[in-house]
Chains A and B, each alone.
Chain A
């Protein structure tokens, strides 16, 4: 297991993640491991120590990250389904760039036990496939409490997701979130294609309107305060496990990574180094103040989306403001390396903060590259999200 980093090269887990056991129990076959980004801290596909992952539609471009290999393999037809992790968009970003369907489940729906974490309150894992129906099938196999994951505190509600797919979206009310469009780096063809795709959902029986969630524009900043300090404390200083929670601690990973990340610190990626420097600086000088305030504001952000979801069943916006970008050259500047890694997360990251289920589904192709449309639902209503995505795919 590498998790994209040479720091973990040679580590062989002594236990299977809960979701691996569940896939095998459900009759799935594990055909291989996929590359992901360096400790999964990149939305681009250029930070893995095994080399960049190439976009299946244009090998000069990013496949998206951090579950870069998972989405690229699915989109290229090398496997039927894959697993991704999502803390800032890492299931949905590569799915959007590569032209796959990627579903970030409701926070806590799928156990994270045995998966390398970034931040306890942002960690999600979920399915990537070519169709929403396949995502529903995989989600059905892996969802539900395992009694070992602190992210699953409280009541976890599962449903027979495949049985909820009706092939249409009759009776589903969808709100196009106006603040999800027109970011400074938004590409006009992406915005237009997603608006058109939203309108097309009326043909599947959905009622589509426009809604406004002004706080969505600040979601990225709330995420930023949580991700930087939280990742430093758990993923780095906490040796990927941290303390103060009940559940399963993978001690072999602690032993290996705890030693290796110090011995090979210079092999960490530029994005991880950046997080360490800033996260520790914030802790040392502000005593966790901004992390704490951001966690408090996360409740306000969730309430803002929930209020919008009081009048509609689903929210809709572009998954990313951009289509797949060019991969940075091996000698690219640090500025370019970091920009290509983190420039696309403005629409995806807020839902890692609030935990709402969100799926990306290909809306179409522009300039030979896929464009992703994101549908967001109420907590535990993953079935509605997947049903609308499935209905949209059946239209096209």
Chain B
């Protein structure tokens, strides 16, 4: 098996930067299934869904069925358009707030914790501690 043969252009664009990084890191080790490792890597953050899609009716139908709910297409359609909190519109408002607001700053580590973390980091670098 050659490294490039199973690594399609489509897969490369899909995995983006993470794929590039995985390729670079593993490049010296020939024949280890690089393409497979790259495709399985987590997607880059910028591909995470940002826009709340209005739930397709067939998907709501599948969810209803999985919870043993008998809901007609008309029922499902009306659930999609409700204006209250807890509704799709409410969820979209929540999404906007969550997307616009910055996250709180990470807590400053206490010096004692920092020492422990530094020891762990050094241990990892030396291969003496587990991940």
Which residues does A use to contact B, with CB under 8 Å?
218, 220-225, 227-228, 236, 262-263, 265-266, 268, 271, 273-278, 280-282, 284-286, 289-290, 293-294, 296-297, 299-300, 303, 334-335, 338-339, 341-343, 345, 349
Contact = CB atoms under 8 A, between A and B. Distances in A.
A273 to B, nearest CB: 6
B86 A342 contact: yes
A221 B87 CA distance: 11
B79 A342 contact: no
Given A274-B82, A277-B79, A236 B67 contact: yes
A303 B87 CA distance: 27
B85 A280 contact: no
Nearest to B48: A289
Contact of B104 (A224, A236, A262, A300): A300
B58 to A, nearest CB: 12
A102 B91 CA distance: 29
Contact of A276 (B67, B75, B88, B103): B67
Given A277-B64, A278-B87, A290 B98 contact: yes
B9 interface: no
B14 to A, nearest CB: 17
B30 interface: no
A221 B100 CA distance: 12
A273 B64 CA distance: 8
Contacts, number: 126
Contacts of B83: 335, 339
A75 B14 CA distance: 62
30 contacts: A218-B101, A221-B93, A221-B98, A224-B91, A225-B98, A227-B85, A236-B67, A262-B68, A263-B68, A265-B67, A265-B70, A268-B69, A273-B69, A273-B71, A274-B82, A274-B86, A276-B64, A276-B67, A281-B59, A290-B91, A290-B98, A293-B99, A297-B103, A335-B81, A338-B86, A339-B82, A339-B83, A339-B84, A341-B84, A349-B85
A275 B68 contact: no
Contacts of A338: 82, 84, 86-87
Interface range for B: 35 or more
A278 B91 contact: yes
A280 B63 contact: yes
Contacts of A221: 90, 93-94, 96-98
Given A275-B86, A335-B82, A290 B69 contact: no
Report, nearest first, the 10 A-B pairs whose CB atoms are least far apart. A225-B94, A293-B98, A265-B68, A342-B84, A221-B97, A221-B94, A224-B94, A280-B63, A281-B55, A218-B97
Given A273-B71, A285-B53, A296-B103, A222 B63 contact: no
A299 B104 contact: yes
Contacts of A345: 85
A297 B98 contact: yes
Contacts of A341: 84
Q: Which of B87, B94, B104 has the most CB of A within 10 A?
A: B94
B97 to A, nearest CB: 4
A284 B58 CA distance: 14
A282 B91 contact: yes
A342 B63 contact: no
Contact of A277 (B52, B60, B68, B101): B60
A361 B82 CA distance: 32
B4 interface: no
Nearest to A215: B101
Q: Which of B64, B71, B86, B96 has the most CB of A within 10 A?
A: B86
B8 interface: no
B48 A335 contact: no
Contacts of B96: 221
Q: Which of A225, A281, A294, A341 has the most CB of B within 10 A?
A: A281
B49 interface: yes
A274 B91 contact: no
A297 B97 contact: yes
Contacts of B75: 334
Nearest to A286: B49
Contacts of B88: 278
Contacts of A289: 48-49
A303 B88 CA distance: 28
A124 B78 CA distance: 32
Q: Which of B48, B71, B79, B93 has the most CB of A within 10 A?
A: B79
B82 to A, nearest CB: 5
A278 B87 CA distance: 7
B69 A266 contact: yes
A224 B79 CA distance: 16
Given A285-B53, A290-B94, A293-B98, 16 more contacts: A218-B97, A221-B97, A224-B85, A224-B94, A225-B95, A263-B68, A266-B70, A271-B86, A273-B79, A277-B63, A278-B88, A280-B63, A284-B59, A284-B63, A293-B103, A334-B75
